Amino acid sequence: MLERWPSLPWQEWQDTANTLHMWMQIVGKTKLALTPLRNHWWNVTFQLSARGLTTGSIPYNNESFEIQFDFLEHRLVIATSAGQVESLPLRPQSVADFYQEYLAFLHRLGIDVKIWAMPVEIPDPIPFAEDRKHASYDAPYVTRFWRILQQSDGVFRKFEVPFLGKASPVHFFWGSLDLAVTRFSGRPAPERAGADSITREAYSHEVISAGFWPGSGFGEAAFYCYAAPEPAGLAQKAIFPKAAFYSRQLKEFLLKYEDLRNAAFPEDDLLSFLNSTYDAAADLAGWDRVALERRDGSAS
């Protein structure tokens, strides 16, 4: 049995992570193409399932279907409301081959969808149909990644209990490959200079957002928390646990995953990180915490 918080050295599974990222974007863009827009793009995200990550129900021609990355048996499973259940093996293969196989798979199930076949939120994107650079799949590391998401999801849900204001579900962004949960003050945010339509919608209101990266963008797995817009003085605020710190480069609080997994009580340390970074940002930004929070911390 795997550890509750298994090791996840980025250098050892980076190629697999980058390949899986592109596969997830292909599936995610299917959901983007077929679901109505929700505020802050919440309609496009994945959710944790008992076996991996799922799109949830996607409407299609008066029916619906669901796509799941099964990270226990390592299969891509598609189930339809008409009763069909079929799957493809997740194995080492190029993004280009996965893309063609996936589209043909959908077509056999009577699902035809046109997506923008270009990756987003990464440097030097390669069109899916041409990407033979990314072709790795190390199944044990993928399972480790999912186990960490599963553990983090449970702590994130506990963190959300006392918040009464508008908040996102705990969800997985396939664009940036991170699990995240976001709280809102209820106040509009100043428009970001030069923001594109995606960023403008995502940050239309004041947020404090926390999440988990597997390593992409930072070079190693880490938990993060940031405020947008960032209130003055945030970098100087004391947070917990002791291993956590403020990155002036990223303008975010970080807690390296390796520091967390080696702690005596990882779940407690992660909850402390989430609470202390939120407290620091909410206080400095002048959020109405009396109105936004359930003071006894209960769930009802």
Cα within 13 Å of Cα(225), Cβ side: 27
CB 289 within 8 A of CB 282: yes
Question: For the residues 248-266, what does the mean pLDDT come to?
Answer: 97
Going by C-alpha positions, the residue among 69, 78, 72 that lies closest to residue 19 is: 69
| Rounded CA separation 87/293 (Å) | 43
Query: Residue 202: its pLDDT value, please?
Result: 85
Query: Residue 1: its pLDDT value, please?
Result: 55
Q: How many Å separate Cα 224 from the centre of its chain?
A: 12
How do residues 171-217 score in pLDDT, each as one tens digit?
A: 999 999 999 999 999 999 998 888 888 788 889 999 999 999 999 87
Q: Which two tokens stand for residue 278?
A: 């939120």
- Main-chain dihedrals φ then ψ at residue 216, nearest 5 degrees: -65, 135
How do residues 100-142 score in pLDDT, each as one tens digit?
A: 999 999 999 999 999 999 999 999 999 999 999 999 999 999 9
Question: How many angstroms separate the most distant Cα atoms in the chain?
Answer: 57
Q: Does position 89 have pLDDT exceeding 60, yes or no? A: yes
Query: Residue 245: its pLDDT value, please?
Result: 98
